[in-house]
C-alpha cells in the first residue's frame, strides 16, 4: 500500500467516524441516575440501544429506573454507589467490568444541590462544605480514576462531566456548590490533556436551571426563581432533563471523537454573554 492509498483510507475512516452518531451497544455509566437528569439520560441512552448502568446512592431508585428501561425493551444494570467513597466507586466499576467487560462512557452526574440550604458563604458549616466537595468534586475524581484505565487500554472512552451555569453567573448563597462545579471545568481540561493520546475524550456540560421531579429541588426552586431564570434565557421556556440528552449523546458518540477539553453550555442561552 502506497502513502497516498494509506492517506485516503485514513481519511475515509475519519469521515465514517464523523458521521457516526450511534451509541448502540455502548456501556454507559451514569452516576446519580436514580432520579432527575441522570434518570432521563439513562432512559434515553437505553432507548438508543446503549446498555445503561444506573448508579445511585439509593439502590431502590436505581432498580426503579432499571424496571422502566426493561419495560421499554432496553438493557441496564442497577447499582448502588456512594461516589464520595473511593471504595464504593471502585466496587461499582468492578461490578460493571465483571458484567460487561468495559465502560465506554462515564457520565459524572451525581451531585449535591437540591438539599442545600441557601445561606451567605461565611455561614456555611464546615461539615456541609466538606460534604459538597466530597460528592461533587472527589466523586468525579474517583469515578474518572476508576474508569479511565480500562478506557486507556482499549483506546476508546468518553468522560462527560456535568457542571452548572451557576459557575459563570456566580449564583449567590451557594458558594460551596458553585465552587465545586467550577472545579469540574478545570478537572475536565486536565483529563483531556492526559487521556487524549489514548483515544479518550473528556468534556463538560453546563446546564441551566433544570426542572425535575425531585421533591427537594422543587422546594428550592420557587416559581419566582424559575421565571426569573427563564426571562434571562434566549429561549424563554423551562429547561427539562430531556434538553440535555442530545448534547450528552453527541459527546458520547464516535462523531465527537475530535472534541475534548470543552465546556459546552446547554442552558437556552442563559449564559451566552458570559
- Structural fold of domain 23-266: Rossmann fold (3.40.50)
Q: What is the mean pLDDT of residues 201-228?
A: 81
Whole-number Å distance between alpha carbons of 49 and 229: 34
The x, y and z cell numbers of residue 213, run together, are 421531579
Q: Kindly name the residue from 177, 180, 248, 266 that is annotated as catalytic.
A: 177
Is the pLDDT at 2 greater than 80? The verdict is: no
Is the pLDDT at 1 greater than 70? The verdict is: no
Whole-number Å distance between alpha carbons of 204 and 111: 14
pTM over 0.85: yes
In this predicted model, what pLDDT tens digit does every residue of 248-263 receive, in sequence order?
A: 999 999 999 999 999 9
State the Cα torsion 175-109-69-59 to the nearest 10°: -70
Q: Cα separations (Å) of 189 from 102, 116, 176, 263?
A: 24, 27, 21, 9
Residue 177 known to be catalytic:
yes
In this predicted model, what pLDDT tens digit does every residue of 115-138 receive, in sequence order?
A: 899 999 999 999 999 999 999 999
Amino acid at each position: 500500500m502506497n502513502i497516498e492509498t494509506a492517506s485516503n483510507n485514513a481519511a475515509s475512516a475519519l469521515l465514517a467516524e464523523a458521521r457516526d452518531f450511534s451509541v448502540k451497544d455502548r456501556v454507559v455509566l451514569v452516576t446519580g441516575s436514580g432520579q432527575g437528569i441522570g434518570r432521563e439520560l439513562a432512559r434515553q441512552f437505553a432507548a438508543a440501544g446503549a446498555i445503561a448502568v444506573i448508579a445511585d446512592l439509593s439502590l431502590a431508585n436505581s432498580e426503579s429506573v432499571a424496571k422502566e428501561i426493561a419495560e421499554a425493551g432496553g438493557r441496564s444494570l442497577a447499582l448502588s454507589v456512594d461516589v464520595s467513597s473511593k471504595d464504593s466507586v471502585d466496587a461499582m466499576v468492578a461490578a460493571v467490568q465483571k458484567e460487561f467487560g468495559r465502560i465506554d462512557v462515564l457520565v459524572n452526574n451525581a451531585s449535591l444541590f437540591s438539599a442545600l440550604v441557601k445561606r451567605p458563604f461565611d455561614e456555611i458549616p464546615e461539615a456541609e462544605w466538606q460534604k459538597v466537595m466530597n460528592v461533587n468534586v472527589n466523586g468525579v475524581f474517583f469515578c474518572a480514576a476508576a474508569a479511565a484505565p480500562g478506557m486507556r487500554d482499549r483506546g476508546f472512552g468518553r468522560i462527560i462531566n456535568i457542571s452548572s451555569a451557576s459557575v459563570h453567573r456566580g449564583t449567590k448563597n451557594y458558594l460551596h456548590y458553585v465552587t465545586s462545579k467550577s472545579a469540574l471545568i478545570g478537572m475536565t481540561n486536565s483529563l483531556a490533556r492526559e487521556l487524549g493520546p489514548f483515544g479518550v475524550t473528556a468534556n463538560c456540560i453546563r446546564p441551566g436551571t433544570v426542572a425535575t421531579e425531585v421533591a427537594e429541588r422543587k422546594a428550592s426552586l420557587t416559581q419566582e426563581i424559575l421565571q426569573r431564570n427563564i426571562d434571562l434565557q434566549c429561549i424563554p421556556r423551562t429547561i427539562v432533563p430531556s434538553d440535555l440528552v442530545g448534547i450528552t449523546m453527541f459527546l458520547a458518540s464516535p462523531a465527537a471523537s475530535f472534541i475534548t477539553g470543552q465546556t459546552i453550555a446547554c442552558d437556552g442561552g442563559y449564559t451566552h454573554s458570559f
